[in-house]
Amino acid sequence: MLAEEVVATELIPPFDNTAVDGFAVRSADVASASPATPVELEVVATVAAGAVADRPIGAGQAIRIMTGAPIPPGADAVVMVEDTSSSDGGARVAVTAAVAPGAAVRPAGDDVRPGTVVFRVGEELSAAHLGVLRSLGRSEVLVHPRPRVGVVSTGDELVEGPAPLGPGQIRDSNRATLLALVAAAGCEAIDLGLQPDVEATIAAAFEDGARRCDALLSSGGVSMGDFDYVKRVLDRVGEMNWMQVAIKPAKPLAFGHVGGVPCFGLPGNPVSSMVSFELFARPGLRRLGGHPDDRLVRRPVRAVAPDGLRRTLDGKTHFQRVVADYDHAQAAYVVRSAGGQGSHHLAAMAAANALAVVPDGGGVEPGGLVDVLLLR
């Protein structure tokens, strides 16, 4: 993420050059050229990319020229090699097509001129941005580094790997999910491991994370259970706010600081942790990464729900997992439920590409409109 304005100090391209392999000519000389009436010119030199013609061209003359080579003085256009045929061992060329002045010439500064603001603060440096910077001779610019974000899973029931599950055990899915979401949000994801429900080890994991990371994410242990040690630990080693948000899924949420480092305590249920990340952690992490204010959250788009989206009144806004497709005939997004809407229905989350924001009430009628957040 760019943290300084970049002003061009050079021309791109730096000189008038040819866009094609062919012959630099005076366009007036070949004005009458056609396949039936070729115009013969004398070839007085060859100029490759990286070289400079050692002489200008005069009337009736041409210079053989390769893509990227400077336009020789006197020439005002280039005829591409496909519209020519050479003779006399290359000393002469017959041009079979007329060219307008400036044809196949890339003028100096055509792309970028000195004094132009090429990039602004808060622009994400894409591959093309890096190319422009290199074209301008810039190998260093001021950027916001990617925030380093530590991810920890907590829970005695969780295990890692393919070994058969013991009674009551499940596999830790949230860590892989959250590490991937962190990376997709433009951050560097740091794996802080899977911690059992033991206060001392949870505390050590957070304290270690606070030393190594710019932000921390945990999942699990933030709700009302007897073994929600994350709560106890974070109250001891950090300053946290414990919240209940009027949304479904992802009601419990904690946010605060551990060792001065922002820390999100996300709910443990797999879909809840993902929705909570999307709504609360992602905007915060993007701010940390220097994204401008108007690009922290996804803007909802309006979509049609042909089958409706069912729900009941419960005082909460629901974020339903849906598949959104752009329907060209209707010029609108069309959404359908992606499957089970329970906070453990991770497969439906994987099938979804959007969250429909269904306000409190009886849901969306078939054919009704709904706001959706397009996740990818």
Nearer to Mg ion, 15 or 242 (CB): 242
Nearer to ligand AMP, 154 or 320 (CB): 154
Helix axes 229-237, 199-212, angle to 10 degrees: 50
- The DSSP-derived string for 44-80 is EEEE-TT---SS---TTEEEEE-TTPBPPTT--EEEE
Nearer to ligand AMP, 89 or 166 (CB): 166
Question: Which residues have C-beta within 8 Å of that of residue 371, sequence separation ≥ 6?
Answer: 300, 301, 302, 303, 356, 357
Q: Which helix (H) or strand (E) holds 211?
A: helix 199-212
**127 Ramachandran zone, left/alpha/beta (phi>0; psi -120 to 50):** alpha
Nearer to ligand AMP, 248 or 291 (CB): 248
**Residue 336 pairs with which residues in a beta bridge?**
323
Least gap, CB of 220 to ligand AMP (angstroms): 3
Of the candidate spans 7-15, 155-163, 170-178, 280-288, the one that interacts with Mg ion by CB under 5 A turns out to be 155-163
The verdict on 70 binding ligand AMP (CB under 6 A) reads no
Retrieve residue 230's tokens.
């994350």
Of the candidate spans 46-54, 213-221, 275-283, 350-358, the one that interacts with ligand AMP by CB under 6 A turns out to be 213-221
Q: Which residue of the chain is nearest ligand AMP when measured via CB?
A: 268
Q: What angle do CA 239, 243, 248 make, to 5 degrees?
A: 145
Give CA–CA dist 33/277, Å, rounded: 66
Q: What is the phi/psi pair of residue 103, to 5°? A: -60, 130
- The DSSP-derived string for 11-22 is -BSSS-EESSSE
Q: Binding mask 135-164 vs ligand AMP (x if CB under 6 A, - otherwise)?
A: ------------------x-x-xx------
Q: Which of 96, 174, 276, 320 binds ligand AMP (CB under 6 A)?
A: 174
Q: Which residue of the chain is nearest Mg ion when measured via CB?
A: 155
Q: Binding mask 203-222 vs Mg ion (x if CB under 5 A, - otherwise)?
A: -----------------xx-
Least gap, CB of 319 to ligand AMP (angstroms): 17
Give CA–CA dist 326/81, Å, rounded: 45
The verdict on 267 binding Mg ion (CB under 5 A) reads no
Give the residues lining the site for Mg ion (CB under 5 A).
Answer: 155, 220-221
Give the residues lining the site for ligand AMP (CB under 6 A).
Answer: 153, 155, 157-158, 170, 172-175, 219-223, 225, 267-270
